[in-house]
Amino acid sequence: MTKLIGISGSLRRGSFNTALLRATSQLVPDDTVLAVETIHGIPLYDGDVEAAEGIPERVAALKEAIVAADGLLLVTPEYNNSLPGVFKNAIDWLSRPPADIGRVFGGKPVALMGASPGGFGTILSQNAWLPVFHTLGVNFWSGGRLLVSRAQSLFGEDGVLSDQRTRTQVQNFMAGFVGFVRSQQDLSAKMAP
């Protein structure tokens, strides 16, 4: 069983990205589970709060969920041609303390997708994540890109992904990512003493 965790980078109740993540959780390959997570409850990062109170409970729980997963899927909105501040804030908390970066993110297979009402999907946001991934030391899957454009025409008012072409694209994307995750697991098993 391949265990993935997916995190939406939006706090909005009617978020296309959260809807995309929920749809994706139903479109993964057999013998795969995608747990849907949220950044709700993560406060703004403040080094003084970290020093005085430590890592917030919500952050600690999400860190452990990422550690326990075989792969991580980030579903990112695009704000002002870049990554959303609330999502970056969550990742900043998840990378604290610095000694935990390797345990949480080091070598972790990561994929990226996003939905937008605009015509270019989330291409600029996805590109803006690349230096962050480099710094965290993730094993970014670059074998596919999923940019959902004109999302308002693809999701019903109930948030269900109704467009069959997009559903097929999501299935193919996830098949590729799960294949990558499993190949990394096989490689790790061969290299283990």
Q: Which structural domains are found in the chain, ordered by start?
A: 2-191 (3.40.50.360)
Asked if the model's pLDDT at residue 52 lies above 90, the reply is: yes
Q: pLDDT (tens digit, 9 = 90+) per residue, 160-185?
A: 999 999 999 999 999 999 999 999 88
| Inter-residue contact 58 to 71 (CB < 8 Å) | no
Q: Report the pLDDT value the prediction gives residue 191, as an integer from 0 to 100.
A: 75
Q: Report the pLDDT value the prediction gives residue 189, as an integer from 0 to 100.
A: 76
Q: Which helix (H) or strand (E) holds 150?
A: none
Asked if the bond preceding 193 is cis, omega within 30° of 0, the reply is no
Asked if the model's pLDDT at residue 23 lies above 90, the reply is: yes
Q: Report the pLDDT value the prediction gives residue 149, as an integer from 0 to 100.
A: 94
Q: pLDDT (tens digit, 9 = 90+) per residue, 61-109?
A: 999 999 999 999 999 999 999 999 999 999 999 999 999 999 999 999 9
The rounded distance, in Å, linking the Cα atoms of 120 and 132 is 21
Q: Report the pLDDT value the prediction gives residue 92, as an integer from 0 to 100.
A: 97
pTM above threshold 0.75:
yes
The C-alpha torsion from 134 through 135 and 137 to 143, rounded to 10°, is -20
User: Which residue type occupies 107?
Assistant: G
Q: pLDDT (tens digit, 9 = 90+) per residue, 112-158?
A: 999 999 998 899 999 999 999 999 999 999 998 999 999 999 998 88
Minimal CA–CA distance to 3: which of 25, 34, 37?
34
Sign of the CA dihedral 47, 49, 103, 147?
Answer: negative
DSSP state of 74: E
pLDDT band at 3 (very low <50, low <70, confident <90, very high): very high
